[in-house]
């Protein structure tokens, strides 16, 4: 999908009384999802188990600083 097609699709999903801020937010979210998907497709991800272990270490056991 081209950028123009993406913008048109976002506009079609929004109500007629949306604000410029609504449009900006929806475009931001759409872009953030696309960037995240590209990172995942390229293998630039952290396995769930490693994230969980790090969070447990920091929040349940305390920080090792």
- pLDDT single digits (tens) 26-65: 999 999 999 999 999 999 999 999 999 999 999 986 655 5
Mean pLDDT along residues 16-24? 98
> How far is 32 from 37, CA to CA, in rounded Å?
9
13 within some domain: no
Supply the pTM of this predicted model. Answer: 0.71
45 within some domain: yes
Q: Which residues contact 30 (CB under 8 A, 6 or more apart)?
A: 6, 10
Question: For the chain, what is the domain count?
Answer: 1
Q: Are 36 and 43 in contact (CB under 8 A)?
A: no
46 within some domain: yes
12 within some domain: no
**Dihedrals φ, ψ of 6, to 5°?**
-65, -45
Which helix (H) or strand (E) segment is 22 a member of? helix 20-41
36 within some domain: yes
Q: For residue 52, what are the domain limits? A: 3-7+19-61
Return the pLDDT at 60.
86
56 within some domain: yes
């Amino acid at each position: 999908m081209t950028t123009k097609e993406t913008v048109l699709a976002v506009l079609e999903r929004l109500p007629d009384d949306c604000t410029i801020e609504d449009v900006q937010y929806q475009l931001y979210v759409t872009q953030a999802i696309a960037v995240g998907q590209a990172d995942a497709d390229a293998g630039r991800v952290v396995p769930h188990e490693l994230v969980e272990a790090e969070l447990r270490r920091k929040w349940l056991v305390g920080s090792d600083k």
